[in-house]
Amino acid sequence: MPEIYSLSSEHEVADFIKNCNSEEVPIEIIGHNSKSIGRLIQCSKSLHLKNLSGIIEYFPEELYIKVKAGTPLALIEIELDKKNQELSFEPPDMGFLYTGQSNKGSVGGAVACNLSGSRRFRAGALRDHILGFRGINGKGEIVKSGGTVVKNVTGYDVSKLITGSYGTLVALTEIVLKVQPKNEESQTLLVSNINLKRALNIFSKSMQTSVEISGACFYPAKMSKFFKLNDLDTTTSITAIRLEGPKISVVERINTLRKLFDEYKKTISVLENYQSRIFWKNTTDLQFFNNSKNIVAKIILPPVNTDQFINKFENEELKYVVDWAGNLIWVEIPENDSVLLRQLRTEVTKLAGHMTIIKAPNHMRIKEDFLTTVDENIKVLSLKIKESFDPKKILNPGKMYSGI
């Protein structure tokens, strides 16, 4: 078991990492330990940032919040809710996937994993909402980037670089995020009992209009049964389109889509505000794979390739849900089916996609690759970036790639 160090200040974290760097001691960086994402690594010391918690400043009128990296996401959302604001990238609650219970973890963990929900294709990823950060690199030096002003800038954006680096570049200490007013109304247009190919066509046509959809997902019939909503038919496939904004605008845009998809009028229905919000929370939080014991992977593909990918594996032991208007496929396969996992990797690469293993048994996390991408140069680039932030490779070594 590694020695655990729970530190409470940036100064303590800097000194700790500086000492480990001089002794070349590898460190596993942990926030709230709510997400077992990435390769399983073995370090002699474990740095826990849970105590580095608290809201530093929050200016609703300036649309930003500055927090310590160990601050619980749930606490941040409670504070934003008091001012009718939110994090518009919809950070998912991964606790349902890992333990079957809510556990949103820390804001630093969300940033490290670049976690973004169903609104991603409309609002952008988490990395598009980070304004700045402070952290400690592998040499024990304080690194800072960005600020608190919401504006476009040119140049090298280190904030975006560390977002999604899984703690391999810096130990985050402070984070500044953009916030947005909450949408007054959420409604969801549903089309029942159609196949994925037709659903993808609906997504494409919807995005070519001016109705500004903010959610688009597809559940095959075998995956929809977990929903417990009165106005939702869970005996068939579900194709869902979300619209948000002022109520009068949402109603008008829903009617526009009804007319656009008149051919499906017999199977069209609408989830009103309350049930619509529950539907998308369940989807963003991956509750369809609640407490899964199997391998769960996130696959990003060009939407034009999504149907081809699913058709290839339709007869395999694969469960799936499509989100982000066809750009994202969540898949679950049996925990020991390494053959099917390799086949998925091969097909993802062939179709110019990217795969991230989100959950897997520990024996798989030790020997299997965590990331699969069509461009092998990304691994080379990752090594160069790693060496500039952490020359001795002591921060979460091997978390993303073996040897990096």
- Given a cut of 90, whether residue 347 has pLDDT beyond it is yes
pLDDT single digits (tens) 244-275? 999 999 999 999 999 999 999 999 999 999 99
- At residue 152, the pLDDT reads 40
Asked whether the predicted pLDDT for residue 95 surpasses 90, the reply is yes
Is residue 374 over pLDDT 80? no
Beta strands in 312-395 (DSSP E): 319-323, 328-333, 354-359, 371-373
Q: What share of the chain is helix, strand, coil (3-state, %, to 5)?
A: 35, 25, 40
Q: Hey, is 42 helix, strand or coil? A: coil
Secondary structure (3-state) at 178: strand
For 78-91, what is each residue's pLDDT tens digit?
A: 999 999 999 999 99
- pLDDT computed for residue 47 by the predictor: 97
- pLDDT score, position 149: 46
Among 325, 110, 322, 327, which residue's Cα sits nearest to residue 214?
A: 325
Find residue 242's DSSP bridge partners.
188, 215
Read off the pLDDT band of 298 (50, 70, 90). very high
Secondary structure class of 319 (helix, strand, coil): strand
Query: β-strands 45-48, 27-30: how paired?
Result: parallel
pLDDT band at 127 (very low <50, low <70, confident <90, very high): very high
pLDDT band at residue 96 under the 50/70/90 scheme: very high
Tens-place pLDDT, residues 9-21: 999 999 999 999 9
- Distance between first and last Cα of the chain: 22
Tens-digit pLDDT profile for residues 136-153: 999 999 999 976 544 443
Whether pLDDT at 232 is above 60:
yes
User: Which 8-state DSSP code applies to residue 72?
Assistant: B
pLDDT of residue 378: 87
Residues 15-35 have a mean pLDDT of 96
Tokens linked to 207? 């995005």
Average pLDDT of 175-203? 97
Q: What is the pLDDT of residue 317?
A: 85
Q: Which domains does the chain have, with CATH numbers?
A: 48-181 (3.30.465.10), 185-284 (3.30.70.2190), 287-378 (3.30.70)
- The whole-chain average pLDDT of the chain stands at 94
The confidence score (pLDDT) of residue 58 equals 98
pLDDT of residue 108: 97
Average pLDDT over residues 298-319: 93
> Residue 348 is which amino acid?
V
pLDDT at 148: 56
The pTM of the full predicted model, rounded to 2 decimals, is 0.94
CA distance 189 to 260: 12
Cα gap 321→18, rounded to integer Å:
44
207 has pLDDT over 50: yes
pLDDT for residue 316 is more than 90: no
Give the integer Cα–Cα distance in Å for 241 and 215: 6
